[in-house]
Amino acid sequence: MKKENKVKQAQTLKKVLTYIKSYRIFLVFSLLFAVVTVAATLYIPVLTGEVIDHILAPGQVEFAVIMGLLQRMALVIGLTALAQWLMNVCNNKITYEVVQDIRREAFAKIEILPLKFIDGHSHGELVSRVIADVDQFADGLLMGFSQLFTGVVTILGTLLFMVSINFKITLVVVLVTPVSLFVAGFIAKRTFSMFMLQSTTRGEQTALINEMIENQKVVQAFSKEEDVLEKFDEINQRLEKASLQATFFSSLTNPGTRFVNSLVYTGVALVGALFAMSAGSAFSVGQLTCFLSYANQYTKPFNEISGVVTELQNALACAGRIFALIEEEPQTAEPQNAEVLANVKGNVSSEHVYFSYSPEKKLIEDFSLQVKPGQRVAIVGPTGCGKTTIINLLMRFYDVDSGSIQVEGADIRKVTRRSLRESYGMVLQETWLKTGTIRENLKMGKPNASDQEMIEAAKAAHAHSFIKRLPQGYDTVIGEEGGSLSAGQKQLLCIARVMLCLPPMLILDEATSSIDTRTEMKIQNAFAKMMEGRTSFIVAHRLSTIQEADIILVMKDGHILEQGNHEKLLAQGGFYAQLYNSQFAV
Amino acid sequence: MKSLLIFLKNYKKECVLAPLFKMLEASFELIVPLVVSAIIDVGIVNRDRGYIVKMCMVMVALGLIGLICSVTAQYFAAKAAAGFGTKVRHQLFAHIQTFSFSEIDKAGTATLITRMTSDINQVQSGVNMVLRLFLRSPFIVFGAMVMAFTIDLKAALIFVVTIPLLSLVVFGVMAVSIPLYRKVQERLDKVLGITRENLTGARVIRAFHKEEEEKNRFEDGLESLTSMQTYVGKISAFLNPVTYVIINAATIVLLHTGAVQVNIGNLTQGEVVALVNYMSQILVELIKLANLIITITKAYACGNRVASILEIRSSMPVSRTAAGNDNDKEQEMSRETEKQSIPMVQFSHVGLTYQGSGAESLSDIDFSVQEGETVGIIGGTGSGKTSLVHLIPRFYDVTKGEVLICGKNVKDYPLEELRQRVGIVMQKAVLFSGTIRQNLCWGKADATEEELYQALETAQAKEVVEGKEGKLEANVEQGGKNFSGGQRQRLTIARALVRKPQILILDDSASALDYATDARLRKAIREMEGCPTVFIVSQRTSSIQHADKIIVLDDGEIAGIGTHDNLLENCQVYREIYQSQYKKEA
């Protein structure tokens, strides 16, 4: 299991590297500047030490030497600052560009994923992969990497500088530092479980908050406010405890390591001072100050590294999730010689179609249908009977398992998706509008339509009068998912959208369920006009629509039970007859 | 934000002690350079081994005391923060429970949930950080300067110049970049929005073959995000190099001044070392302070948002439990005697204007309903059907006229008692996570098995329960996701029936049921024991045509009241609705 994980991590890392590849020049420069920065930073204390060695006592100050040293210091400082800035710029460049590349690819994949994948995954979770995971990945992996790199270089550099000055004191530093690591590690291990407890408790509470506040009206209708508050408080109390523990213990890391650092510092001061006082020693006061400042710098990366490692692992996990999305199998590609459906008259047929969403549950079996131009097909059945399945197949949102669906005699798998879908006008039960102006939404199917045409379509869909009353008319910006519009208004817009492009075939899914009956009646007329001479598939609830249909598909539990026209089905005395009679049975 | 601070009132002690101990720790830290300077000037110069060892012991002691102070401070800070967070969370949740429907509509559930969760978490960690660091960092910065003054006036003046300069750079960069980061967030939100839209709208986007266009839109958003990120990155990239230059330039000046001062005998070598040490302490703390300020600004903004929710006063200030008991009994008696004459529900010239909307949503609604009657309410979208029935359990207060139940104004009932009498099934069928039994028991906490099954049977939901593994104990996922729309609707109806309400309101709650089930449901309700007064809101004439009384609403006004037959004759609106649904039969 663990090994598997490691292999997986290595694979992820490899993929990450391919993304960075195009920016390798920046990476090389970034590393180079990091080394320069660290080296120069470490050189400053040496210079400071030397200066101090030339400031001994009254009258014993060698100004000439000091001035030289100070000049050199100024130079080194300038160099460090420059290198540091360039390193930052390189890192930013790599991070932001890689993030952009990954997001672009992920989004492109979303556009070609099979609907099956999109329907089967929580949208929130997919969004968080593209947004939060990518950010986390960038922060953790790229920033973490540069932190890790500078950290290691600093440690090595410091060691090198220290050894070059005095080996024995270096030993003191090296021996005491692990204590700091140990302390940090110890605390981290202990706090991990506390953080877990805190986050699970928090999760529990958030779930409750979500559920109750979203449905506050039901809570109030049943006067359950106090019970809910009680339940909330119980979790809240647990959260307080968990939160106190987690916060407190995790906040011990800083004082703990700071204390160990002060031990290192003292150790250096002690040994260094003893060296410096012994007669004839080569160890000077200046070198002691230099060492003291190293003692501070040396321990710092150690403390950071332990944090960086967990962050790196977390980042890899995030990267893994994004790559899983990017590498997801796309919808079947169109064949090379895919035809473009043209001159669609409205001949649709299906032959021996078998389809199911999952192999265990068979749904559509041996379904054959012949629809001639201008015919109406009503799909009827109780809610949840799988009426949308038919739409999914017709529009080729899903592919049939076997058999075939044909438009104008051409298998829809052999024509371009674009030309197939262009042949249909679709109004779904779930009204979906994109963020943007009303105009943009209406012209979605026909971007080059004139305003005149657009207004005509809106009038035909009885949407013009309410659009006119909106603050900016057709230029009113509607928020995500239609924002402030009512369900009925959204549906009118969806209808107008189809009215504008008027394709040869129509798919209407309970299209008018949220529109009041009087408007609906007017729309019915518009619909009737629209359907004239057009092959249409209607998920129907209204008796009149059903009766007028040329073919009625009766569905239940995902299966197609009966097929035929109204009279024939009534005469059959099956499920349809039962449905029909129940309407007047009371 | 200020108003939230009262929740710290129980933690006064902690709020004083935490920063106090932090300052103590900081002061010990400030003494260290002095000790080092003493080691150099006294220990090394006089070759006094004993003195050096003694001073090192002092340093260890300082470190140890610092550790203890710091741990104490962290504890108090964590305790105050966790306690504060818990109190605010409780208060806010309890406060939201008192909201009437008007306030919930106004604030929006998504907002309320964010306030309850991430906003409060931010404030909590803000409080924690402030208690820990807000005094410490400035204290060290100014402490270092003060210490410099105790050593040498001239050298101290360098500090006086450096500190404001550094502050200017650190806070200047922050002042510029914080608003820019907000812009980055806005652009990220846009990218997020497009991603989510392309998942929820996948069908429509593909139906209109807008994939390429969407990709371009995403690319635009992505590029504007990256360019903003790069821009901010460039500015922040200056922070480190510039502060580095300033602090080291100051060190150079300090060394030079030190050299001069030592030369004339005003300073010792050790004192110069101490001054250099103080200088480097300043930088570390200033950076910490900058980060702290970012946390605080965030926390402050979150705090204000939380406070703004707490400031919303419920527009229904009547206490939920306080009962006018005597009055009530009287009412009970009178109800018994005058059962026939006093209507169960009476609307007397009722008008309703929603908060923040100009026009009346209901105007001059006047009707009465006798006990046991079934009332159908029909009308177009936005005609006020739901608004009307929501007035019965007093989800909203009327703005004109009055609503009477058993002859008593609903405002004179304790809310809980009022809602006990009314069972309402809302349009959106909501179940809560738990078991089916737990959900049904919302209607009546101590309902027996028999009562539950009776309700289920009436609601046509028995088969739903029986089809689930575990029957009544079957698991319900959050939002009832593991049930279909129709199943959820039937269960919510059962939930309302369990309490055997005097008044039952079905607000378009059979919309997902097929005609047959809908008809059986209505029949079962009519045959229920206790003969509740029933309100059925529907779009379908078939659902209400057999009601004792049908109220036809049109644009917030009553367009007609009567039975099916006489409405058909006299009411134009009703006739239109009916005909639109039964075109053929009419």
The strand pairing partners of A415, in sequence order, are: A339
Output the pLDDT for position A582: 61
Take residue A61 and report the two structure tokens written for it: 């100050």
Contacts of A28 by beta carbon, 8 Å cutoff, 6+ apart: none
Binned at pLDDT 50, 70 and 90, residue A3 comes out as low
Take residue A496 and report the two structure tokens written for it: 């107008």
Report the sign of the C-alpha dihedral through residues B36, B42, B45, B48, in that order. negative
Measure CB to CB from residue B515 to each of A243, A256, A579 and give the nearest one: A579
3-state percent breakdown (helix, strand, coil) of chain B, nearest 5 = 65, 10, 20
Interface test with A, best of B315, B385, B515 (most A CBs within 10 A): B515
A166-186 mean pLDDT = 80
pLDDT tops 50 at residue B329: no
CA B453 to chain A, closest CA, distance in angstroms equals 19
Take residue B138 and report the two structure tokens written for it: 């400035």
The 10s digit of each residue's pLDDT in B263-290 is 888 888 888 888 988 888 887 787 778 7
Take residue B42 and report the two structure tokens written for it: 């006294």
Residues of B in contact with A578 (CB under 8 A): 516
Binned at pLDDT 50, 70 and 90, residue A29 comes out as very high
Is B213 within 8 Å of A440 (Cβ atoms)? no
pLDDT tops 50 at residue A529: yes
Interface test with A, best of B25, B40, B546 (most A CBs within 10 A): B40
Output the pLDDT for position A482: 59
Place of tokens 């559509």: A364
Output the pLDDT for position A74: 93
Nearest alpha carbon to residue A530 among A555, A506, A563, A511: A506
Exposure string over B167-179, b if 16+ CB within 10 A, otherwise e: eebbeebbeebee
pLDDT tops 90 at residue A33: yes
Output the pLDDT for position A279: 64
Output the pLDDT for position B562: 85
Output the pLDDT for position B321: 46
The Cα–Cα gap between B532 and A525 comes to 41
Output the pLDDT for position A32: 92
Binned at pLDDT 50, 70 and 90, residue B584 comes out as very low
Is A495 within 8 Å of A520 (Cβ atoms)? no
Output the pLDDT for position B335: 47
Binned at pLDDT 50, 70 and 90, residue B355 comes out as low
Contacts of A561 by beta carbon, 8 Å cutoff, 6+ apart: A381, A554, A555, A574, A575, A576
pLDDT above 70 as % of chain B: 92
pLDDT above 70 as % of chain A: 92
Binned at pLDDT 50, 70 and 90, residue A206 comes out as confident
Which residues 376-415 on chain A approach chain B with CB closer than 8 angstroms? 381-384, 395, 397
pLDDT tops 90 at residue B6: no
The CATH code for residues A348-585 is: 3.40.50.300
Binned at pLDDT 50, 70 and 90, residue A405 comes out as very high
pLDDT tops 50 at residue B481: yes
A575-583 mean pLDDT = 73
**Chain A / chain B CB contacts < 8 angstroms:** 427
Highest averaged pLDDT of the listed ranges A446-460, B376-390, B438-452, B532-546: A446-460
Task: Judge if ipTM > 0.95.
Answer: no
Binned at pLDDT 50, 70 and 90, residue B320 comes out as very low
Nearest alpha carbon to residue A381 among A159, A578, A132: A578
The more confident residue out of B189 and A305 is: B189
Q: What is the pTM of this model?
A: 0.72
Q: Looking at chain A, which residue has its C-alpha nearest residue B578?
A: A517
Take residue B536 and report the two structure tokens written for it: 């059925």
Q: Is A353 left (phi over 0), alpha (psi -120 to 50) or beta?
A: beta
pLDDT tops 80 at residue A511: no
The 10s digit of each residue's pLDDT in A108-139 is 998 888 888 888 777 777 888 888 888 888 87
- Lowest-pLDDT range of A87-101, B77-91, B324-338: B324-338
B551-578 mean pLDDT = 82
Q: Do B94 and A229 make contact, defined as CB atoms within 8 angstroms?
A: yes
Helix axes B449-458, B485-498, angle to 10 degrees: 130
Measure CB to CB from residue A100 to each of B64, B132, B222 and give the nearest one: B222
pLDDT tops 50 at residue A241: yes
pLDDT tops 70 at residue B334: no
The CATH code for residues B337-581 is: 3.40.50.300
* CB proximity A281 to B under 8 Å: no
Measure CB to CB from residue A85 to each of B241, B251, B383 and give the nearest one: B241
Interface test with B, best of A67, A109, A136, A209 (most B CBs within 10 A): A209
Provide the 10 A C-beta neighbour count for residue A289: 26
Q: Is B374 helix (H, G, I), strand (E, B) or coil?
A: strand
The Cα–Cα gap between B290 and B313 comes to 37
The 10s digit of each residue's pLDDT in B508-532 is 777 667 777 778 888 888 887 778 8
Place of tokens 């807008």: B210
pLDDT above 90 as % of chain B: 9
3-state SS track over B207-242: HCCCHHHHHHHHHHHHHHHHHHHHHHHHHHHHHHHH
3-state percent breakdown (helix, strand, coil) of chain A, nearest 5 = 70, 10, 20
Output the pLDDT for position B356: 59
The 10s digit of each residue's pLDDT in B17-58 is 999 998 888 888 888 888 888 888 888 888 888 898 899 999
Residues of A in contact with B124 (CB under 8 A): 243
Residues of B in contact with A66 (CB under 8 A): 255-256, 259
pLDDT tops 90 at residue A436: no
Between CA B348 and CA B360, with CA B354 as vertex, the angle to 5 degrees is: 60
Output the pLDDT for position A515: 61
Output the pLDDT for position A513: 54
* Residues B151, B157, B161, B164, Cα dihedral to 10°: 50
Q: φ and ψ at B302, to 5 degrees?
A: -60, -45
Is A240 within 8 Å of B83 (Cβ atoms)? yes
CA B368 to chain A, closest CA, distance in angstroms equals 22
The 10s digit of each residue's pLDDT in B138-169 is 888 888 889 899 888 888 899 999 989 988 88
Is B256 within 8 Å of B194 (Cβ atoms)? no
Residues of B in contact with A107 (CB under 8 A): 194-195, 198, 215, 218, 222
Output the pLDDT for position B523: 82
CA A2 to chain B, closest CA, distance in angstroms equals 32
pLDDT above 90 as % of chain A: 8
Contacts of A465 by beta carbon, 8 Å cutoff, 6+ apart: none
Q: Do A217 and B395 make contact, defined as CB atoms within 8 angstroms?
A: yes
Output the pLDDT for position B318: 54
A483-501 mean pLDDT = 79
* Domain coordinates in residue numbering, chain B: 153-266, 337-581
Task: Please give the distance of CA A331 from its chain centroid, rounded to a whole number.
Answer: 20
Nearest alpha carbon to residue B271 among B28, B30, B55, B35: B35
* Domain coordinates in residue numbering, chain A: 348-585
